[in-house]
Amino acid sequence: MRAEASNVGLKEFIRRSLDGPVMRELDFDLKLSRQLRRLTSEYSIHFNPQEIICDDATADAIWQAALQLLERVGIYNVDTNRVVSLPSKEVEAAAAGAPKEFTVGEGKDAVTIKAFDHGVKVPPVILAQPAKSFHIKGSVQAFVAKLMEAYVSDAGPLGDLARQLENELDGIPYMAETPGEMIWARAVVRWKRAVADLLGKPGLHLGSAEVTSLPAILALYTEKGLLHRFNSQISVSLIPNLKLNWDRLRLAYAARSLGVYRSCSADPVVGAYCRNSEEAAVVALASVLGSMMYAGDEKTVQLSTVDREGNRTAKAPLQASSAARRSIERNLGIPMDGIQNIIKNGLGTSLSLYELAALTLAQSASGWAWSWRYPCAPGPKGEYTVDLDYKFVTKISRGATGLSREKTNELVAKLLQLYENRDADGGKPFAYYYDIKTLTPSMELVALFDRVEEQLQRLGVPMG
């Protein structure tokens, strides 16, 4: 374990949260709003409406605007009603301490992730999760119920564990900030670890802890055989609109004490507080940089944007997230995690594959270094695909490696025409397309992927 260079960032956040300027939250919101609009004008940040991937000059302007936003506005601690001041030199120094590479997993399952470099032309690393383990975000009960449907009824290798978890969880609801959150989180990780062992991959990286409350985090990291430094990461992020509270700082302190990599993330809404994609890009970058200040040295980046309808693959959120990512790639050069598991359309629809293709192309041109979120792209019904999504995204990401910005913009524009203004198609249930016990896809689903891949190739999308 590498020693942390300093504890200045976290200590200063605590001090400034206690003795920084007092301000009403409404006044902070107004100041942030005015400065955000002023800075996008000062730095002439205007996206070309015909492009998704912005040019170098715009990406660099977003970097400077984000630094100035933090310096002029700071971060608001809602628990103390004080502003944490953040001079741009301090922000740049803290961000520069992030590693240019890191290793996830352990033993034969370890993988080293390096910052993406367009000149080297190495595709992003896509880490598969346990093939029989999938977590429906926001509905852990559904996750366990589906798996128990597959294993409790027979004498399969995980049958005993499934029955044990069913008894432990019986009657206990999954509710944030309650003991139920801790019990459910522990059950989910126990299942994922068991599946990884069954697959012969005991050192597999299991992704980010799916909970954010400190008691639930401690429940996962203090019990032997669950999560630890090498098989997971902990999300360290601000509250939207450059705010935090003591819970965020407590979580960051715990993550650093546990020696777990911190994922500094942001997810602003386009069309709400941020009027447009340009403002969302600046806020997203500022949010990531702000969380880097107190996350410590061992950190990665995960960044996305969403519109008011919850879409991440529409034009505006794609523009915003791509621009912020390009800014990080050009000015910071650290590994960025890709978002691949939140789309609008459901399982078994061509629209969902167009979305995945557009998202993959946009991120491939914007510093995407790795992703651990597959399998499982949830549609409106919470349904999931498994192995075919892995292969689909891997093919496109490999084909897109080294693709020019201009060509990427051309291809994403074609894909947007296929799905952006269409009504969402919820698809069909998971069990319709997959054998629930073997997770083998149906020939109907395989044929759909084949047809879409052929169509994408006709459009000019490269497949690796």
Domain boundaries, the chain: 1-105+231-335, 132-221, 338-464
| pLDDT surpassing 90 at residue 437 | no
Q: Are 407 and 457 in contact (CB under 8 A)?
A: no
CA distance 458 to 461: 7
Find how far residue 433's CA is from the centre of its chain: 27
pLDDT band for position 282 (cuts 50, 70, 90): very high
Give the pair of three-digit tokens for residue 72: 């002029």
Largest CA distance in the chain: 66
Grouping H, G, I as helix, E, B as strand and the rest as coil, residue 46 is coil
pLDDT of residue 127: 78
Average pLDDT over residues 321-348: 87
- Smallest CA-to-CA distance from 342 within 372, 370, 379, 314 is with 379
Mean pLDDT in the chain?
84
Strands 82-84 and 75-77: antiparallel
CA distance 348 to 352: 8
Give the pair of three-digit tokens for residue 296: 């410590």
Handedness of CA 396, 400, 405, 407 (dihedral sign): negative
State the burial class of residue 24 (Cβ atoms within 10 Å of its Cβ: 0-12, 13-18, 19+): exposed
pLDDT of residue 141: 44
Least confident of 35-39, 351-355, 422-426: 422-426
HSE toward the beta carbon, residue 288, CA cutoff 13 A: 34
User: pLDDT: is 114 or 9 the higher one?
Assistant: 114
pLDDT of residue 377: 37
| pLDDT surpassing 50 at residue 131 | no
User: pLDDT: is 356 or 387 the higher one?
Assistant: 356
CA distance 402 to 379: 30
Give the pair of three-digit tokens for residue 279: 């403002």
pLDDT of residue 8: 56
pLDDT band for position 128 (cuts 50, 70, 90): low
pLDDT band for position 68 (cuts 50, 70, 90): very high
pLDDT of residue 129: 64
pLDDT of residue 53: 97
User: pLDDT: is 342 or 149 the higher one?
Assistant: 342
Average pLDDT over residues 177-197: 82
Least confident of 72-81, 314-323, 412-421, 429-438: 429-438
pLDDT band for position 379 (cuts 50, 70, 90): very low
Span 1-105+231-335 CATH architecture? Alpha-Beta Barrel (3.20)
